[in-house]
Amino acid sequence: MNGDSQFFFSPFTLDCANRSLFRAGEKVFLRSKSFSVLDYLVEHPHRLVTKEELKQAAWPRAKVVDAALRVSIQEIRRALGDRAEHPQFIETIGKSGYRFVAPVSLRVAHKQGSELTNFFVGRRAELQQLREHLKLVENGRRQLVFITGEPGIGKTTLIDVFANSLDQTDNVIVARGQSIEQYGTAEAYLPVLDILEQLCRRANGELTIAMLRDLAPSWLLNLAAFTSSEERERLSRRCLGMSAERRLHEITTFFELMAKNCTLVLILEDLHWVDPSTIALISFLARRRQAARLLVIGTYRSGEVERFNSPLKAIASDLTLHHLSAQLPLKLLSQSAVEEYLISRFAQPAVSRSLASTVYSRSEGNPLFMVNVTDCLVSHQAIVQDKETVKLADNDIQEPVPTSLRDLINRQFEALPPEDQELVETASVIGMTFPVLLLARLLDREREGVERRCRELSEREQFLQYRGSRKRPSGNTSSLYGFTHALYHSVIYERAGESKRRRLHQAIGNVLERVFQEATEQVAAELALHFERAGDYQQAIKYLTRAAQKAIQQAAYQEAIQSATKGLEFLKWHCGNRQQKQQELELLLALGPAVASTKGYAAAEVGDIYNRADLLSQELADESLRVLANYGNYRFHLMTGQLRRALNIGKQMIVSARCTGDSNSLADAYTLAGVSLLHLGEFSAAQEQFDHAITAYGIRNETFVPVKHPDVLAYSLTYSAINWWITGYPAVAAEKEAQALLLTRELPHPFSTVITLIMLATYHQCRREPTRTLELCEIGIQHAAKHGFSSWLTTGMILKGWALTNLGQQSEGIALLRENLKTWRKIGCKTETARFMFLLAHAYLLANRAKAGLLVVEEALSLVAETGNRYYESELTRLRGELLLQEKSNLHKRTAFADAEFCLVSAIEIARKQKAKSFEVRATTSLARLWYERGNKKKARELLATSYEHFTQAFDTPALKDARELLDAAE
Ligand SMILES: Nc1ncnc2c1ncn2[C@@H]1O[C@H](COP(=O)(O)OP(=O)(O)O)[C@@H](O)[C@H]1O
Ligand SMILES: [Mg+2]
């Protein structure tokens, strides 16, 4: 075995690290080969170990005869004082091999910073199972194992023993993350951040930090201890708008890369309390198929998961069903394991039946209880050791051993001096772990004194354990202590009376607020919890809002919803004065994006949230919140295709921005109004808005703080380019395009870069320039995928599909279009759907699949009728005509062109009404071609000439070239 384990079989100790055997502390000499044989036997007790196995273990590279092994066994027997005919330790099994028959326990240097050793008994099969998983991992097959069972059953201990047995040099890295009880105000990814912190604190932590910076910047952003505030500022700009999927991807890539160079063991403790985001990560990690030397071990209390119907339950059973994870349920210890424990603990060869059965029946084989019952008997001097047996004292146990673990913990607590009682109780209100500095402050005692008491308690393994030290925001370093077991924490916490707890929670909240000052968002969820428990709901609501806002930044939408909903719940109990309305509004503004991201932008709930936010913001007349409420409301209506409402909101925003005189908000508002007008097909009106917007941005100052998009100027420039092109001014359009393109070089946020690139691609798609469209959207797609801007990624893919089809790769292009259109519909945004369907139908036309194209066009046109989104109405109608013509010629019908002709005429009318010259030229060209082909040259020429006349510039666009060619032919 690797590592520093020690095996104990009374009266011997086998020290693996030093390869030595001791008898009651005295070293016993063994040759190295014999030691290996004994080590192997002891590690595989109570079963037949074949001669082959033993030879392999001791002489791995040599071929040896049985006699060599026999000599070693003799030497071992001599050393142990054992006899082959009446073996106490090693039994010979015929010609096949040997068996180690004495009870063996493992001594573990168990807890961090503790001098004491514990005795580990039973759990051989479970340890074996973990080792088998490790073997698979070493062959590159990632494994996820859930260790489950009641509190105190030995989950953590089993992992400790397993982890200690690993050779934790460069080849194996073990990191642990702890979940804590958060009572519904979940901090996202708590255990994962715990793990990352440990990895960064390792000897070559700088490498890890560099890797995070490179592969998982959004995670480094959350590790305040390893980043400067300037770096965080930079990172937060880089990570703006990042999706939850992208964050999962980042961290997974990071872990997988680490697991390439070493075996990475991640331990996630107490998952019954885990946050929803971490559950998603576990599931994501387990489902990936790439080879990785990654072993994830999670522990949880099955009862708790069952009782609270945690989402973990469904995920764990689903993963297990698909063989993506294994379950390792721990059972209560058997009576013989309890006996083994007593033998090891008292270092005696035997234990009396009555003692073993007393400890067993009281503890029912729960190890935590077993250890404590034994401690209790020892402290009542109810155990005596005589010759070679440990047994109950004659006085028996007058003092009855408590029959429940809770009882027992209570008794242990009552035996502490009052000063320590106070200390432990106060600590329990801080949490499962606590900084000594904070504890001393609450107790109003000297730090050194408190530190000393904590140390002494932990040295005796009473209640507390040392958990390292942490730097506080104040710059001071404080030792951290924690409760030895969560059960201790909860029993002690419940002991402290209600009013005392409230008082302490309030005090802790106040101190934390003072200590963290400007950085309270780092501990927002914790603060919310303390204030909630203190009954200070005002403060609790304040920090629930911060926690929700922080969760949104982390793309942890479930947590954002949890915190915001809880805050809103608390607000219901209040009368609703101005301040509370303001809080309600802030909470709604955090809830909105979270619900939109999880349930889709079109979910009715999103509408309700923004509706209420809108009312509140009007009532409060708080301009900055009003802008946010309006923006959310606008977006909801635009996404759900309620364009008139969206336009009205945009107009309202223009009015408010004019009142405040804030030119940036004004520019934003003009852009939003322009976008809704464009979708309504009111291109001239839209043009005005875009012009206003660009002028307003022109006078922006350098400390430009945009409402939502990091740089709306680029956004409005690209929209403006599209609009100029549609209305028949290709040269002005090209100017705007060039300005926007220039901006992409200096945009500070990947989010705005992606938006601008995809919008520029859209501009070239409008102009029917597939090569340029493809070029731009490829870069846009790359960035969108890298940063996880999923809806922009989908848009980019749709454009790419269209471009590929136009460039001759029809089947690939159509597949891409169909797949991504499906995704788009799932996102729930109706605004662009009709245009995207146009692109698909156009691809079908190019592929000579008129029937399929017609189905799509017809659906798109009914969507246009339903939503009033007339942006592509003319184009869709023209396309319908073209598809009808294609279908007819496919069917070899030479007659009945009337339907197609009707469509083309309508397309022209629509375009004329909308003053959409470019669409008009296209429709006119199509109709003229139809007439031309049917022999009516004159009519064709006249029609085309009037439409073409308008253009005085940019004759090189595909649409105008088409028209010109036809015109020339018809001359
Ligand atoms: N296999 C074991 N042999 C001996 N003692 C054990 C064993 N498992 C657990 N214990 C004792 O029980 C205590 C609680 O176990 P722990 O692993 O913390 O439980 P869990 O994590 O399941 O709540 C440990 O501190 C240890 O003293
Ligand atoms: Mg545990």
N-terminal to C-terminal alpha carbon distance within the chain: 94
CA of 147 to the centre of ligand 2 (A): 10
Closest CA to 56 of 46, 69, 43: 69
Residues 858 and 814 grouped into a single domain: yes
Question: Is 157 close to ligand 1, i.e. is its CB under 6 Å away?
Answer: yes
Residue 180 is assigned to a structural domain of this protein? yes
Which residue's CA is minimally distant from atom 13 of ligand 1? 368
CA of 154 to the centre of ligand 1 (A): 4
**β-strand pairing of 12-15 with 6-9:** antiparallel
Task: Give CA–CA dist 783/749, Å, rounded.
Answer: 11
Residues 316 and 397 grouped into a single domain: no
The per-residue pLDDT of the chain, averaged, comes to 87
Considering 291, 312, 329, which residue would you say is the last residue of a domain?
329
Residue 802 is assigned to a structural domain of this protein? yes
pLDDT at site 511: 93
Residue 205 is assigned to a structural domain of this protein? yes
pLDDT at site 704: 37
- Checking if the pLDDT of 112 tops 50, the result is no
Which residue's CA is minimally distant from atom 4 of ligand 1? 120
Question: Is 122 close to ligand 1, i.e. is its CB under 6 Å away?
Answer: yes
Considering 288, 310, 329, which residue would you say is the last residue of a domain?
329
Residues 398 and 316 grouped into a single domain: no
Residue 649 is assigned to a structural domain of this protein? no
**Cα atoms found within 13 Å of the Cα of residue 3, Cβ hemisphere only:** 19
- Checking if the pLDDT of 399 tops 60, the result is no
Residues 183 and 231 grouped into a single domain: yes
Question: Is 154 close to ligand 1, i.e. is its CB under 6 Å away?
Answer: yes
Residue whose token pair is 């004659």: 394
The CATH number that applies at residue 482 is 1.10.10.10
Residue 270 alpha carbon, nearest atom of ligand 1:
21
The answer to whether residues 281 and 266 touch, using CB atoms and an 8 Å cutoff, is no
Tokens of 622: 């708080």
Residues 89 and 185 grouped into a single domain: no
Number of domains in the chain: 5
Residues 257 and 321 grouped into a single domain: yes
CA of 154 to the centre of ligand 2 (A): 7
Which residues are in the CB-under-5-Å shell of ion ligand 2? 155-156
Mean pLDDT of 802-810: 96
pLDDT at site 208: 92
Better-predicted residue by pLDDT, 691 or 47: 691
CA of 149 to the centre of ligand 1 (A): 11
Question: Is 341 close to ligand 1, i.e. is its CB under 6 Å away?
Answer: yes
CA of 32 to the centre of ligand 1 (A): 33
The CATH number that applies at residue 181 is 3.40.50.300
**Three-state secondary-structure class, residue 225:** helix
- Checking if the pLDDT of 149 tops 90, the result is yes
Residue 616 is assigned to a structural domain of this protein? no
**Three-state secondary-structure class, residue 603:** coil
pLDDT at site 114: 39
Which residue's CA is minimally distant from atom 12 of ligand 1? 368
Question: Is 489 close to ligand 1, i.e. is its CB under 6 Å away?
Answer: no
- Checking if the pLDDT of 943 tops 60, the result is yes
pLDDT at site 956: 65
Residue 292 is assigned to a structural domain of this protein? yes
**Cα atoms found within 13 Å of the Cα of residue 591, Cβ hemisphere only:** 26
Residue 110 alpha carbon, nearest atom of ligand 1:
25
Query: Positive or negative CA dihedral for 635, 636, 640, 644?
Result: negative
Considering 67, 102, 137, which residue would you say is the last residue of a domain?
102
The CATH number that applies at residue 938 is 1.25.40.10
Residues 325 and 339 grouped into a single domain: no
To test the pocket of ligand 1, the residue of 112, 114, 116, 157 to mutate (highest count of ligand atoms within 8 Å of its CB) is 157
Kindly report, residue by residue over 840-885, the tens digit of the pLDDT. Answer: 999 999 999 999 999 999 999 999 999 899 999 999 999 999 999 9
Domain containing 960 equals 773-970
CA of 485 to the centre of ligand 2 (A): 7
Per cent of the chain over pLDDT 70 is 93
- 500: CB partners within 8 A, 6+ apart: 425
Question: Is 881 close to ligand 1, i.e. is its CB under 6 Å away?
Answer: no
Q: Out of 342-356, 397-411, 946-960, which region has the weakest mean confidence (pLDDT)? A: 946-960
Helix then strand then coil, in percent of the chain rounded to 5, is: 65, 10, 25
- Checking if the pLDDT of 169 tops 70, the result is no
Mean pLDDT of 777-782: 92
Task: Give CA–CA dist 467/454, Å, rounded.
Answer: 11
Residues 436 and 362 grouped into a single domain: no
Residues 373 and 485 grouped into a single domain: no
Kindly report, residue by residue over 246-284, the tens digit of the pLDDT. Answer: 889 999 999 999 998 889 999 999 999 999 899 999 999
Residues 10 and 144 grouped into a single domain: no
Residue 369 is assigned to a structural domain of this protein? yes
Residues 831 and 951 grouped into a single domain: yes
CA of 109 to the centre of ligand 2 (A): 17
Residues 165 and 216 grouped into a single domain: yes
CA of 296 to the centre of ligand 1 (A): 20
Residue 633 is assigned to a structural domain of this protein? no
